[in-house]
Structure 1
Amino acid sequence: MALYEKTASELSELLGKKEISAVELAKDVFARTKAVEDKVQGYVTVAEEAALAQAEAVDKKRASGEELSALAGIPIAIKDNICTKGTLTTCASKMLYNFKPPYNATVIEKLTAADAVITGKANMDEFAMGSSCENSAAHPTHNPHNLDRVPGGSSGGSAAVVAAGEAPLALGSDTGGSIRQPASFCGVVGLKPTYGAVSRYGLIAFASSLDQIGPFGRSIEDAAMLLDAVTGHDPLHDSTSVKTPFEGSLRANLNADVKGLKIGLPKEYFGEGISDAVRKNVMAAAEAYKALGAEVFEISLPLVEYALPIYYILSSAEASSNLARFDGVKYGYRTPNAGDDITELYTKSRSEGFGAEVQRRIMLGTYVLSSGYYDAYYKKAR
């Protein structure tokens, strides 16, 4: 089995035993990327040179006897809406085509401290708005299992590069399914953590009260290992982050006893639209939990039928507010055709810089926040 086919936890063990080097692993992963990336198109930016330098530094630390983290030397792809200092962070948008952040997101600082190797920036639906990874100003990403199908979205690039062997781990962001859905489409493990478990500092905002950074991996252990590294309170930069998201290491507790655990199955989730295969697999998992001593029972979430319209009202309202900062003045795209008129500068820069899906959501959000409609839509949804 090639190195790029192994799970991150397997690679971590090999690195720890010095059976492989971080440079050797990075070169193997980039060789795989060069072989398949023209078909999958999972990246916006590949950072091979910087990654090999990171890997070399890890090997020197290990050779000197330093105690290293489980992620030391493990290649990780980063969704292109998470700020990486000095490396293009475009949100897969023309609006940020030339933006190189002057700072790192908190999660990047944590990964750097853990000596992870960052392979590049993964493609996405523009500003995380979409569920197919086709709404990207860079290019559409393809599902590695069938290039004629989509990988899901908005974190489709992150899911695809893990599924294709272009990185054993990746970070994505999830506002309304943007990690969970592409993980499912690409056959990898993805998780949206509890809101506040991971700092949002440096995550370019779509809908601030819903956005959350989370992991992709080839196994549950991989996802737990990555999540362990990025969770935690961020008192300096994110007041919505929480001090104690959980007790102890997730990875260390994967095989903890589930006896007495209560698991609810919302009956509304098993109605019209669910496929027989999904129903069968979920119920098989429920039976496995029962056999291990968990209590599984039916519950009701009667308001779930309103979840989707509520999501679109609230997320679009927040997007309208958050994306107002992209005005052609401070950074990013500026129209060359505005003359001396400031209103024309704003209008043309935003019309030319944002794609169709982003413009639709900004317009919807502005509508539900406008005078006369705020109470009827936004306030009611909230």
Structure 2
Amino acid sequence: MNADALILQDAAAMAEAVRSGAVSAVALTQASLDRIGATDGRINAFTDVVRERALRRAAQVDASLASPNAARTRELPLLGVPFAVKNLFDIAGLQTLAGSKIERDSAPARGDALLVRRLESAGAVLVGALNMDEYAYGFTTENSHVGPAHNPHDLTRIAGGSSGGSGAAVAAGQVALTLGSDTNGSIRVPASLCGIFGLKPTFGRLPRTGSYPFISSLDHLGPFARSVRDLALTYDAMQGPETHAPRDPGCAQRTAEPVSAQLSHGTRGLRIGVLGGYFRERALPEALSAVDRVAEALGAHQMVELPMVEAGRAAAFLITNAEGAALHLHDLRQRPQDFEPLSRDRFLAGALIPAAWVARAQRVRRLYAEQVARLFERFDILLAPSTPCAATPIGAEWFELNGQRLPVRPNMGVLTQPISCIGLPVCAVPVWGAHASLPIGVQVLAAPWREDLALRVAAALEAAGVAQAPVAAL
């Protein structure tokens, strides 16, 4: 298989081809760069392509394979695999834009984010930075500074957000792997709308060192991929405690708990429930059909309510607004005109929230987490829609749900935000056929630190053909 065809395969297949000598890392990286060049004018997933760096890194991989240490190099799980990251990850020599205009005045990053370094240590090759909502505050990646990210399966529609470029790049076959962030749904929403797999690990599982924060008490970092195997390989490569200062104070400093070897263990014996109530009432038939297909494949027939879910979402809203405003208060005072109008207005509203409200939101959050923990004494896995609907047209401001006209931007995260608030691990799996022509995702939730269970379920769904992530036919 030549490099141009191989770039459309999954990362594990790419790594095996480089490992065996069937293709060079340089040829594979060049194929990725060529596909980005040929397609990104229509998709707008990338804000920066680090061509020279990528080819230099790929040449180093090839040189290592020809060196006395070749045996050790061949063991690397992501050998020669091109990847890209949301532009809130530090990349040495580039400004860390976080989707903004204001950060264009910042100094270039002196080094790479920790997770970028870990993926390159696993053999991967960074090729660029990706489009996103300004300061990660949004669910559509309709960025007014650089233009919207387009959904590769229908270029007239949104890719989701705030990690829209990360979702679009994988769905378009530009790269096999990307990294994004998820504060209120920003991995799961693009994964759902772009028809790929996404993982939001437990809060604190992966260190955030070298990434631009949105809401430090809610931010998660995680991968996107076109297969569960790739998702697990990437997740495993990024795990582990931090060993260098400065450290992420939110990192749990847990030792690595690899999951790749467990993907074939199946779902037998797992207690799986389907979230009802709030999660059925706030989803269109296409989203509910996707959940029902997944539930049927897993033999999951018990409907269950997530306690305090509406209070949990309200708490997440307040914490997001208040913490986000505090982070950007100086620029809100000095450069309000340089924000996107919607982001600016939400941050300004957050600056006016009374401290007593925020304190109460944190108490509600804690009580909510305790209630959900009790639910996981009865269940290992819970299922829910990822988004209330499939991707909406770019520029659409409203969608209809149960006779109500709802704004798109906040409500694409209506089903993900309550889960982010309490830091649960979630794998988003893509389902086709529930909508006439577009994918839509399902959330596979597990208890804290049980990413292995969520990924086992995702792998079983993929093996059964229920969850699939084909490259878009561009």
TM-score range, shorter-chain basis? 0.7 to 0.9
Matched residues in 2 for 1:136 and 1:362: separation?
Answer: 17
Q: Which residue of 2 aligns with 1:78?
A: 85
Is the aligned partner of 1:310 residue 2:315?
yes
Task: Report the Cα offset of residue 245 of structure 1.
Answer: 6.9
Is the aligned partner of 1:319 residue 2:336?
no
Matched residues in 2 for 1:239 and 1:347: separation?
Answer: 28
Matched residues in 1 for 2:95 and 2:175: separation?
Answer: 19
Q: Which residue of 1 aligns with 2:286?
A: 277
Q: Residues 182 and 219 of structure 2 are in contact (CA less than 8 Å); yes or no, is this contact kept in structure 1?
A: yes
Task: Report the Cα offset of residue 10 of structure 1.
Answer: 1.3
Q: Residues 15 and 81 of structure 2 are in contact (CA less than 8 Å); yes or no, is this contact kept in structure 1?
A: yes
Task: Report the Cα offset of residue 277 of structure 1.
Answer: 3.3
Q: Residues 89 and 121 of structure 1 are in contact (CA less than 8 Å); yes or no, is this contact kept in structure 2?
A: no
**Cα deviation code 1:18-69 (max 9, x no counterpart):** 1111111011111111111111010111111110111010011112214231
Task: Report the Cα offset of residue 311 of structure 1.
Answer: 1.6
Q: Residues 54 and 115 of structure 1 are in contact (CA less than 8 Å); yes or no, is this contact kept in structure 2?
A: no
Matched residues in 1 for 2:105 and 2:265: separation?
Answer: 47
User: Which of 12, 16, 31 is residue 28 of structure 1 equivalent to?
Assistant: 31
Paired AA for residue 16 in structure 1? R
Q: Which residue of 1 aligns with 2:347?
A: 362
Structure-to-structure mapping, 1:204-215, within 5 angstroms: 204-215=212-223
Structure-to-structure mapping, 1:96-175, within 5 angstroms: 96-99=103-106, 100-175=108-183
Is the aligned partner of 1:267 residue 2:302?
no
Task: Report the Cα offset of residue 119 of structure 1.
Answer: 0.8
Q: 1:5 to 1:127 in 2, by over 3 A?
A: same
Q: Which residue of 1 aligns with 2:458?
A: none
Paired AA for residue 70 in structure 1? P
| SS state at 1:271 partner | helix
Q: Which residue of 2 aligns with 1:192?
A: 200
Task: Report the Cα offset of residue 243 of structure 1.
Answer: 3.6
Task: Report the Cα offset of residue 270 of structure 1.
Answer: 4.2
Q: Residues 135 and 357 of structure 1 are in contact (CA less than 8 Å); yes or no, is this contact kept in structure 2?
A: no
Identity in percent: 36
| SS state at 2:41 partner | helix
Where in structure 1 do 4 or more consecutive aligned residues deviate above 4 Å? none
**Cα deviation code 1:164-216 (max 9, x no counterpart):** 11111100000001010001111111111111111011121110011111001
TM, length-normalised to structure 1: 0.87
Q: Residues 240 and 256 of structure 2 are in contact (CA less than 8 Å); yes or no, is this contact kept in structure 1?
A: no
Matched residues in 2 for 1:51 and 1:246: separation?
Answer: 28
Q: Which residue of 2 aligns with 1:379?
A: 359
Matched residues in 2 for 1:245 and 1:35: separation?
Answer: 41
User: Which of 258, 270, 285 is residue 267 of structure 2 equivalent to?
Assistant: 258
Task: Report the Cα offset of residue 82 of structure 1.
Answer: 0.8
Q: Residues 268 and 304 of structure 1 are in contact (CA less than 8 Å); yes or no, is this contact kept in structure 2?
A: no
Task: Report the Cα offset of residue 255 of structure 1.
Answer: 1.1
Flag structure 2 segments of 5+ consecutive residues without an equivalent: 363-474
Flag structure 1 segments of 5+ consecutive residues without an equivalent: 328-345
Matched residues in 2 for 1:153 and 1:136: separation?
Answer: 14
Give the number of the structure whose residues are more often strand, by fraction: 2
| SS state at 1:78 partner | strand
Q: Which residue of 1 aligns with 2:455?
A: none
Q: Which residue of 2 aligns with 1:229?
A: 237
Task: Report the Cα offset of residue 147 of structure 1.
Answer: 1.0
Matched residues in 2 for 1:246 and 1:260: separation?
Answer: 25
Task: Report the Cα offset of residue 284 of structure 1.
Answer: 3.0
**Cα deviation code 1:196-244 (max 9, x no counterpart):** 1110111211100111110011111111111111122225412322243
Q: Which residue of 1 aligns with 2:96?
A: 89
| SS state at 1:147 partner | strand
Q: Which residue of 2 aligns with 1:4?
A: 7
Task: Report the Cα offset of residue 374 of structure 1.
Answer: 2.0
Q: How many equivalent pairs are there?
A: 352
Task: Report the Cα offset of residue 136 of structure 1.
Answer: 4.5
Is the aligned partner of 1:241 residue 2:248?
no
Task: Report the Cα offset of residue 80 of structure 1.
Answer: 0.2
> Which stretch of structure 1 is more off in the superposition, 53-62 or 103-112?
103-112
Is the aligned partner of 1:15 residue 2:18?
yes
Matched residues in 2 for 1:186 and 1:229: separation?
Answer: 24
Q: Residues 232 and 260 of structure 2 are in contact (CA less than 8 Å); yes or no, is this contact kept in structure 1?
A: yes
Matched residues in 1 for 2:53 and 2:141: separation?
Answer: 26
**Cα deviation code 1:95-120 (max 9, x no counterpart):** 11143112322112212322311010
**Cα deviation code 1:336-378 (max 9, x no counterpart):** xxxxxxxxxx834x2133221321232122111xxxx222x21
Task: Report the Cα offset of residue 296 of structure 1.
Answer: 6.1
Q: Which residue of 2 aligns with 1:342?
A: none
Q: Which residue of 2 aligns with 1:347?
A: 333
Q: Which residue of 2 aligns with 1:339?
A: none
Q: Which residue of 1 aligns with 2:427?
A: none
Matched residues in 2 for 1:299 and 1:272: separation?
Answer: 13
Q: Residues 262 and 296 of structure 1 are in contact (CA less than 8 Å); yes or no, is this contact kept in structure 2?
A: no
User: Which of 63, 66, 71 is residue 66 of structure 2 equivalent to?
Assistant: 63
Q: 1:245 to 1:265 in 2, by over 3 A?
A: farther
Paired AA for residue 356 in structure 1? P
TM, length-normalised to structure 2: 0.71
Query: RMSD in angstroms over aligned alpha carbons?
Result: 1.9
Paired AA for residue 325 in structure 2? S
Larger relative contact order (Cα-Cα within 8 Å, sequence gap ≥ 6): 2
